[in-house]
Structures are given as C-alpha cells and as structure tokens.
Amino acid sequence: MLGCELPVGTCPDMCPAAERAQRERERRLHRLEVVPGCRQDPPRADPQRAVKEYSRPAAGKPRPPPSQLRPPSVLLATVRYLAGEVAESADAARAEVASFVADRLRAVRLDLALQGAGDAEAAVVLEAALATLLAVVARLGPDAARGPADPVLLQAQVQEGFGSLRRCYARGAGPHPRQPAFQGLFLLYNLGSVEALREVLQLPAALRTCPPLRKALAVDAAFREGNAARLFRLLQTLPYLASCAVQCHVGHARREALARLARAFSTPKGQTLPLGFMVNLLALDGLREARDLCQAHGLPLDGEERVVFLRGRYVEEGLPPAGTCKVLVESKLRGRTLEEVVMAEEEDEGADRPGSPA
C-alpha cells in the first residue's frame, strides 16, 4: 500500500501461541497438530507440530500485529516442516495430508504478504511452498476426489502459488537462482495454455535460454503437436518437481495418443499391436496399466500381451484413467527426501543460471 510501511513479523513459532490456545478451546486442532498420544479433552496442541491455519482477511478488520506474523526465516522453517514431516507422514491418508498442507501453505503466503519482507527472501519461501504443494498434490491417488482434498480447490491453490511467486520475480529484485526452474514449472503445470506460453515467451532471453525453460518449451511444443513419441521421451527426462507439475496432463496426453493409434490402426477385422509397444510409447508402468488403459477405452485384448484395434470400438467416457505414474514421477526421487528436493532440486540438476534476468 502506498504510504504504508508494512511491519516485520516477530512470531518465533509455526503457530502463534494465542491461536494455539484459541483453537484448543474451540476444538479446531487438526489431529496432526495435537500432542502424540494425548487423551485430554479437549486435545492439547503440540507447539512443535501446530501450524498457523489460513484465515481470510476481512474488510475493516485490523491488520495482525507483528507478534502474530511469522518472519521469513520462521516461514521457511514451517515449509521445511510441512515437506519433511507432514508430507511424509505415514499416519494420515494422502488426501488428508494434501488438504492440511495446502491450507497451511496458504497461511504462509498470507503472512508473507502482510509484512515487509525483501523480494529475495520472499521468493525463497514462495518457491519452497509451491514445490511442496506440487509434490503433495501429485501424490494424490485416483480416489482422492472422495476424500477431504478438493481437487478444484487444490488446483486454485497451486495457481495462486504461481501467481504470488511470479509477481515476486516481476518486481525485479534478486537474484533468484531458481527462477528458470519455477518459470518452467509454471508452463508445465499449464501445458497447452496459450496465455501461459505467451507469458513465458515474454520473459527475458537470459531466462528463456536456461535448460529448465528450454525443456519446458520443448514439452509444450510436443504436447501441442500431438507428438506422443517425443512428448513421453521428454517427460521421462524431467526432474521430480517438473514431473509433479506436468502429471495432471499425462492422462489426457495418453488418451490423445491412444485415439491417434486407434484412427491409424483400426480395421473392420481388427489389427493387433503388442502392449509392450504401448508401455514404451506412453511411458506406462507395465503391461497391467496398458491393459487397463485399453479396456477403459473399449479396445479388446488378444491374450495378455496384445491389444486389438477394431473399427468402431474406441470410446472416450469421463476423465482418462489417472494411472500410477511411477515411471514418470515417483522414480525421479532416487532416494532423496521431499524436503531435499523442495529446498535444492536445481542444484542436483546442475542447471545453468541466468547472469542478469532484469
């Protein structure tokens, strides 16, 4: 705001003590925030596990005091905790984890917006938060829509995260070493979007020539051209976070490729094709997934290892199968923890950095 100097947060905890006490009284603690093994009524908050929840700013409501705002260093520690502890939790379903993490990361972005943090340190927090959100959303299974995680809301949260980060980049203060990678993630998450491509092409040439953005542009081009062979070859070379960002488009890309094969190979008497060819072409996780994909689109099988392209049998009903994406996504972790990837994936890639993207 013009003429208004924003405060700097001073809260040292992931959740302010006043909020912890209030949510204890109102029984609004998430089970991931209570003291382990606690049998009190109401449950007691664990200061080491409770994380500030998102609360929509209301018109006319005074700004929170600095004691209720977490400084960038605490916000980054909070994101590390969400990525390293909550996202890896084996005690909660992935849909529950995604819903919890998305809400707490939204509160992280709000705390950052309400204080006078520098663009360089703000970008580090926003990058880590967005990377964590992309990963937990990508880990959701095909049955997530029936759980506590709302796919539409999660998609909106990811787009909001990209918006906050890209506005931070646009202010020009830097340097931002991870900007090429995250601008590439933006394009991959919005694969096929004319507006997203236009915004990326308007970036400075020093950014567009960095490997992460060049590869993202190549993936986008293959996706638009319907070149399945090139698209899935490129997808297999993407690092983990980029694979998480593009995962939401994999099912549609496979369906489009299968439709093209059906148009090319279908005959009145039927023409067979090895399922192994499908596995290699579409980067599937094995013959079983290939069989499931073909049967979901009405294509009959000849034994266990061949599909029959019979004219008039190919159908598209509802959304394409989600698939497991072990080859395209999960295998990319290669023994690293999510926290390690969230904080420093670009160092593992050895990506070139722009000298001055201003």
pLDDT digits (tens, 9 = 90+) for 138-175: 998 655 445 667 889 999 999 999 999 999 999 876 78
Q: Partners of 273 in the beta sheet?
A: 307
Task: Calculate what percentage of the chain has a pLDDT beyond 70.
Answer: 92
Tell me what pLDDT residue 350 has: 41
Average pLDDT over residues 29-41: 85
User: Distance between CA 243 and CA 85 in Å, rounded?
Assistant: 22
**Cβ contact 54:157 at 8 Å:** no
The answer, yes or no, to whether residue 346 has pLDDT greater than 50, is no
pLDDT at residue number 349? 45
State pLDDT tens for residues 78-117.
Answer: 999 999 999 999 888 999 999 999 999 999 999 999 998 8
pLDDT on residue 323: 79
Predicted pLDDT of residue 352: 43
Assign 309 a pLDDT band (cuts: 50, 70, 90): very high
Phi and psi dihedrals of 45, rounded to 5?
Answer: -75, 140
Q: What is the mean pLDDT of the chain?
A: 90
Q: What is the pLDDT of residue 260?
A: 96
What pairs with residue 274 in β-bridges?
306
pTM comes to 0.91
Q: Which tens digit of pLDDT belongs to each residue from 264-300?
A: 999 999 999 999 999 999 999 999 999 999 999 999 9
Question: In the prediction, which pLDDT does 248 show?
Answer: 93
Is the pLDDT at 357 greater than 60? The verdict is no
Taking CA atoms, 41 is separated from 16, 22, 44, 49, 258, in Å, by 21, 14, 8, 18, 56
Structure tokens at 330: 């999960």
**Whether the predicted pLDDT of 333 surpasses 80:** yes
Determine the pLDDT at residue 41: 76
334 in Cβ contact with 190 (< 8 Å): no
Q: What is the pLDDT of residues 190-235, one digit of tens each?
A: 999 999 999 999 999 999 999 999 999 999 999 999 999 999 999 9
pLDDT higher than threshold 60 for residue 3 = no
Task: Tell me what pLDDT residue 147 has.
Answer: 60
Q: How far apart are CA 234 and CA 161, in angstroms?
A: 25
For residue 354, pLDDT beyond 50: no
Model confidence at 4, pLDDT cuts 50, 70, 90, reads low
Q: Which of 8-17, 75-84, 321-330 has the lowest mean pLDDT?
A: 321-330
Return the H-helix or E-strand segment holding 122. Answer: helix 119-138
* Chain-centre distance for alpha carbon 28: 27
Q: pLDDT band for position 351 (50/70/90)?
A: very low
Q: How far apart are the first and last CA of the chain?
A: 24
| 70 three-state secondary structure | coil
pLDDT of residue 358: 29
Q: Give the three-class secondary structure for 304.
A: coil
In order of 221, 241, 346, the CA distances from 235 in angstroms are 12, 12, 17
